[in-house]
Amino acid sequence: MKILHYFRAMRGIMARELWRFLRQRERFIAALVRPLVWLFVFAAGFRSTLGIAIIPPYETYILYEVYIAPGLVGMIQLFNGMQSSLSMVYDREMGSMRILLVSPLPRWFLLTSKLLAGTAVSILQVYTFLLVAWFYHIEPPWEGYLWLFPALVLSGLMLGALGMLLSTFIKQLENFAGVMNFVIFPMFFMSTALYPLWKMKESSELLYRLAQYNPFSQAVELVRFALYGQFNAYSFYYTLVTLVVFLTLAILGYEPIKGMNKRKGNG
Amino acid sequence: MSSGSALEVVNITYAFGRKIALENINFRIKQGECTVLLGPNGAGKTTLFSLITRLYDTGSGKIAINGHDIQRKTTTALTKLGVVFQQPTLDLDLSVVQNLLYHASLHGLSRKQSVQRIQEELERQGIYPRRHEKVRQLNGGHRRRVEIARALLHQPSVLLLDEPTVGLDVPSRRAIVEYIHALCRSEKIAVLWATHLIDEVYEQDHVIVLHQGLIRAKGVVKDVIGQAPNAENVQQAFHFFTNEENLP
């Protein structure tokens, strides 16, 4: 019976996240427009200035749009992960996080379920983006769309766990702007989302190293290879290990001893 | 654990850094007993609720729900606990029924059970016809009723309400106060109701006066009045126990 309880709770948490997402049309449109603007405007502008050599998983010369498409998939998940953490800070300020945390289930399970729910939303966004991108000649092989799914689950969980971890440090909603400047932008720009590693090495060894060890780079590479039906073992293990680290720290952060008990009560 | 206690709070002390929020708190609530936790703002009521719901960790002392230690048997203890928090905790963009289904799933209710329990609780409060409306469309009183219905969905034996009538108009307040007292009698639920509004106390209630983190008085209403010299009603007793001049 206990297993049934776990299953029902997870289903409920996922349903809530999907209901919320579908009710917030602006959020859906924003999540879609952001990467599409990058694809249609940024990539089109840079097409002529950036030549991409043949690098795995690609087997031929590719257009810049094709190169950055997986990076933009990563961007969707990165923003979604951060948005989830923003909503957790908001939920905690508004109190609805309490409803989740006083449920008769272990906290690690509740937080992991919330993470899975956020990842499910991000996967919906990604496939919608890829559908639009297909009409813009981003046409990976059909099986790539299938292989992409498990990669998206892993990368989405890792980025969501990072967001959850950040939400344990952010005490007020107003502080969230800092996340934008100090997490999202550096992670995105110091990664392989926009330029391949070898290109970075040419200009800066430091940037190259930072991008190489940036977990977001590895998530993007995992997605890039999966989209072309290939498995990048290094990226897979790197993403998996960072997921475990971020999630463990986030769960510890939400434990009563180290988490909410330091925040001031008001009654 | 004493027999018959639905909620037991023993020797609880809690501090935020150096500031002591609660000191040596002890009380018990039996099934079917409505206990009003009276205290001015900042008395420590919300902190106490956060400890009972294990949002905060009990450093010293013990809290038990139906005999289950909240620290050691957290999930078992929480199974029998219903909570209405001071802050509104409903999802405004979801419908009433979606909010309740979410809660029911967290407590492991099947879809069939959930639908049945939601209907029972909403009908009892006269808001069943509005179940498909977004919470945003409801007024403050109705939102509170939904929160109370939600807290009762899984049929808890202990119900905590943290200032549930704050910000409501007089008729809504009266309706909620009456409803909770009726619930105590009919369902034999143990209720702990935090408030600073004295008119919410009924004669048959138990009262705990909390001030600056200490219990100043506790017992049935007439006993608490008797503990305050020259007090003729709860209001006068409350003023006596929270008056700076009378502090030990």
pLDDT tens-digit map of A105-138: 998 999 999 999 999 999 999 999 999 999 988 8
pLDDT class of A84 with cuts at 50, 70, 90: confident
Domain boundaries, chain A: 2-262
Query: Rounded to a whole number, what is the distance in Å from the CA of B103 to chain A's nearest CA?
Result: 8
pLDDT of residue B248: 64
Q: What is the pLDDT of residues A166-193, one digit of tens each?
A: 888 877 666 667 777 788 888 999 998 8
Q: In chain B, what are the domains?
A: 31-56+72-80+156-248 (3.40.50.300), 90-155 (no CATH)
CA distance linking residue A227 with residue A231, whole number of Å: 9
CA distance linking residue A125 with residue A122, whole number of Å: 5
User: Which residues of A26-177 form beta strands (DSSP E)?
Assistant: none
More confident residue, A257 or A234: A234
Q: A95, B87: Cβ pair inside 8 Å?
A: yes
Amino acid letter at B223?
Answer: D
Count CB pairs under 8 A between chains A and B. 120
pLDDT of residue A177: 72
Mean pLDDT of the region A57-79: 86
Pick from B56, B83, B106: CB nearest A260: B56
Closest to B33 (Cα-Cα) out of B191, B161, B177: B191
pLDDT of residue A53: 67
Q: Indicate which of A87, A102, A105 best probes the interface with B, i.e. most B CBs within 10 Å of its own CB.
A: A102
Query: Rounded to a whole number, what is the distance in Å from the CA of A92 to chain B's nearest CA?
Result: 10
Q: What is the DSSP string of B91-154?
A: -TTSBHHHHHHHHHHHTT--HHHHHHHHHHHHHHTT-GGGTTSBGGGS-HHHHHHHHHHHHHTT
Query: Rounded to a whole number, what is the distance in Å from the CA of A2 to chain B's nearest CA?
Result: 8
Give whole-number Cα distances, A203 to A199, A200, B162, in Å.
7, 5, 60
The tokens describing A203, both together, are 């200009």
Q: Is B164 on the interface with A (CB under 8 A)?
A: no
- pLDDT greater than 80 at residue A267: no
The mean-pLDDT minimum among A66-75, A254-263, B87-96 falls in A254-263
pLDDT of residue A94: 67
Q: Which residue of A has its CA nearest to B87?
A: A95
Query: Rounded to a whole number, what is the distance in Å from the CA of A243 to chain B's nearest CA?
Result: 25
Q: What is the pLDDT of residues A2-47, one digit of tens each?
A: 899 999 999 999 999 888 888 777 878 888 898 999 888 888 777 7
Write down the mean pLDDT value for chain A. Answer: 85
pLDDT of residue A48: 66
CA distance linking residue A141 with residue A146, whole number of Å: 10
Q: Is B193 on the interface with A (CB under 8 A)?
A: no
Closest to A149 (Cα-Cα) out of A132, A131, A124, A129: A124
Q: What is the DSSP string of B35-93?
A: EEEE--TTSSHHHHHHHHTTSS---EEEEEETTEETTTSHHHHHHTEEEE-SS--S-TT
Amino acid letter at A119?
Answer: T
Q: How many CB atoms lie within 10 A of CB A37?
A: 12
More confident residue, A195 or A77: A77
Closest to B89 (Cα-Cα) out of B130, B143, B41: B143
Q: Is A23 on the interface with B (CB under 8 A)?
A: yes
A114 contact partners, CB below 8 Å, separation of at least 6: A13, A17, A84, A88, A100, A164
The mean-pLDDT minimum among A58-72, A153-167, B168-182 falls in A58-72
pLDDT class of A49 with cuts at 50, 70, 90: low
Taking only the tens of pLDDT, chain B with its 248 residues reads 444 789 999 999 998 888 888 999 999 999 999 999 998 888 888 889 989 998 888 878 899 999 999 988 888 999 999 999 888 888 888 899 999 999 999 999 999 999 999 999 999 888 999 999 999 999 888 999 999 999 999 999 999 999 888 888 888 888 889 989 998 888 889 999 998 888 888 888 999 999 999 999 999 999 999 988 888 888 888 888 887 776 66
Q: How many CB atoms lie within 10 A of CB B3?
A: 6
Q: B163, A256: Cβ pair inside 8 Å?
A: no
CA distance linking residue A127 with residue A145, whole number of Å: 8
| Residue B243 · residue B203 · CB < 8 Å | no
Q: Is B137 on the interface with A (CB under 8 A)?
A: no
Q: B16, A262: Cβ pair inside 8 Å?
A: yes
Partnered with residue B142 across adjacent β-strands are: none
More confident residue, B15 or A151: A151
The predicted model scores a pTM of 0.85
- pLDDT greater than 50 at residue A259: no
